[in-house]
Amino acid sequence: MTTPYPQVLRQTDYDSSNQRGSMNARSVARRHKMDSSVWDERFHLSKSLDSSRKWFARQVAQQLQRGGRFRDPFLKSDDSTIGPELCARGRRYDWLRPHEIVNDPQFVADGISRFDVKQGEIGNCWFLAAVASLSMYRELLQQVIPFGQTLNTNGPQSNSSFTYCGMFWFRFWRFGDWVDVVIDDLLPTRNRQLVFMHSADRREFWSALLEKAYVKLIGTYDAMRGGNTTEAMEDFTGGLTEVMDLGEKAPKKLFSIMECAKARASLMATSIDAAENELEGRGPMGLITGHAYSITDVRRVTSRSGPVELVRLRNPWGNEEEWVGPWSDQSREWKNIPQDERRRIGLTFDNDGEFWMSFSDFIRYFSRVEFCHLGPESVVVGQSMIHATPSRRWEMTKEEGEWVRFATAGGCRNYSDTFHKNPQFRVQVIDPDETDDENMGTLIVGLMQTGRRETHQELHTIGYAIYRASLA
């Protein structure tokens, strides 16, 4: 039996002064859960960032009263947290706290940026690509990585709200609810080096701790291997994801769609399809197959020969493995771009995994583009973001349901006698889009399945059909 969560996003004008004016169905549906502050013994159900901050402050105070460094009773520092497949390789893991790894550890050193995250020994580039995208948006970032945490053992500092006690706090959106996840800071190492996700600066530990918190959510580091960037994007924002094929299947107005997504602060990522034996293998022109990339910008630039559509991407490996074709670092095409235009788009040439390429090459070499659109569950984005404040937002409605054998499991449309028994939901789109001349409104529908990654099970093949219905 599978529990589907149909979600619907509709485009609307956004007025920040009336953010709480309309209660969406998702908030109403979960209200009965809020009476209990504990979601499973391992997690805490979050009403808001402020209420969770007070809750975590109490957890820190209790640990300080108990004395010693916090040890998570629900996520053990042993091979059971690593997972059987990674342990089967015969590698040993030493669990150390940051102070046992470097002399002057920092939770955050010199701010959080998309260049911080580097992939470790597991194939979770899908997760890192989402983290890199998230790091570009301060308001979204602090919903997941609440500010004010520290590794300084000399008491609270001017930039910290909590005293260090070996306890750290992160938040994820899971199937309709924001969940607080608390972990200790014991991390898997080898030769005093972090072996999984880590920051480029050895003193910085926010990224390794974020990954560990997500591991607590899904069970093991093993469970992090392989996935879609959209999965992590949803868990970071509460938004709804959309996937579009590239190549010959790419929509004609895709670049404009990506520009609109950027203007609305939608997170974006992309990847190249690959066979099982070609995952994270060498592809054409310096690209990596079976690998996720963050999309960090889309721009129309003016060259001496006319306007050019460009896309900026980042490889989560964070090294010299970059695109080497036209518009790559130091390529001759940049000589046709005036210096002021280069400064406007923030052009740099570093071996940091980030690069530009033409939009035509992007749709030629990559397989799909993934979007995460921000709905009411996502924090309001403001001027501190890299991009402009979005003038339009999405409304979201969530319906919960399930397919039960002999009751609501009607099968696909091949089963005409029972298809009508499937769960049905009516949606009315009233306002047309203002971004085109068509008298139609945009609607995005998505389905989510619970518990599949945690139990190492494949997703069920599920779907939906949309029909025009009479208002009578």
Catalytic residue among 124, 228, 260, 291: 291
Catalytic residue among 44, 124, 125, 260: 125
Contact (CB, 8 A) for 165 and 63:
yes
Q: What is the mean pLDDT of residues 245-255?
A: 93
Domain extent for 63: 33-224
The mean pLDDT of the chain is: 82
- Our CA angle for 132, 450, 448, nearest 5°, is 70
pLDDT at 373: 87
Residues 196 and 49 in one domain: yes
User: Residue 229 domain-assigned?
Assistant: no
Residues 265 and 195 in one domain: no
Confidence band for 459, pLDDT divided at 50, 70 and 90: confident
User: Residue 428 has which token pair?
Assistant: 């009315």
Residues 277 and 204 in one domain: no
Contact (CB, 8 A) for 207 and 116:
yes
Residues 190 and 217 in one domain: yes
pLDDT at 435: 64
Residues 210 and 265 in one domain: no
Least confident of 51-55, 237-241, 245-249, 448-452: 448-452
User: Residue 418 domain-assigned?
Assistant: yes
The span from the CA of 222 to the CA of 80, in Å, is 10
Residues 316 and 446 in one domain: no
167-223 confidence digits (pLDDT tens): 999 999 988 889 999 999 999 999 999 999 999 899 999 999 999 999 999 899 999
Residues 360 and 425 in one domain: no
Catalytic residue among 44, 124, 198, 315: 315
Tell which of 224, 258, 275 closes a domain: 224
Residues 268 and 214 in one domain: no
432-446 confidence digits (pLDDT tens): 776 667 777 778 888
Q: Which helix (H) or strand (E) holds 64?
A: helix 49-66
User: Residue 180 domain-assigned?
Assistant: yes
Assess whether 125 carries a catalytic annotation.
Answer: yes
- Tokens 């550890």 map to which residue? 105
Across 75-152, the runs of DSSP E, i.e. the strands, are 94-96, 117-118
Assess whether 277 carries a catalytic annotation.
Answer: no
Residues 176 and 259 in one domain: no
User: Residue 382 domain-assigned?
Assistant: no
Angle separating helix axes 229-237 and 125-134, nearest 10 degrees: 40
User: Residue 379 domain-assigned?
Assistant: no
Other Cβ atoms less than 10 A from the Cβ of 338: the count is 12
Please list the residues that pair with 49 across neighbouring strands. Answer: none
In order of 14, 20, 23, 260, 380, the CA distances from 17 in angstroms are 9, 8, 15, 23, 11
379-401 confidence digits (pLDDT tens): 555 433 344 344 456 777 778 77
101-121 confidence digits (pLDDT tens): 999 999 998 888 777 888 889
Confidence band for 11, pLDDT divided at 50, 70 and 90: very low
pLDDT at 276: 65
The span from the CA of 3 to the CA of 408, in Å, is 11
Confidence band for 353, pLDDT divided at 50, 70 and 90: confident
Between 7 and 223, the higher pLDDT residue: 223
Residues 205 and 347 in one domain: no
Q: What is the mean pLDDT of residues 144-172?
A: 87
Residues 219 and 243 in one domain: no
The CATH number assigned to the domain holding 291 equals 3.90.70.10
Residues 264 and 367 in one domain: yes
Assess whether 315 carries a catalytic annotation.
Answer: yes
Between 443 and 311, the higher pLDDT residue: 311
The span from the CA of 5 to the CA of 447, in Å, is 5
User: Residue 8 domain-assigned?
Assistant: no
* pTM, entire model: 0.76
Confidence band for 377, pLDDT divided at 50, 70 and 90: low
Beta strand pairing call for 281-282 and 288-289: antiparallel
Beta strand pairing call for 354-358 and 288-289: unpaired
pLDDT at 16: 34
Across 202-305, the runs of DSSP E, i.e. the strands, are 240-245, 267-271, 281-282, 288-289, 292-303
Number of domains in the chain: 3
User: Residue 14 domain-assigned?
Assistant: no
- Our CA angle for 301, 304, 310, nearest 5°, is 25
User: Residue 292 domain-assigned?
Assistant: yes
Highest mean pLDDT among 93-102, 138-147, 154-163: 93-102
The span from the CA of 60 to the CA of 31, in Å, is 27
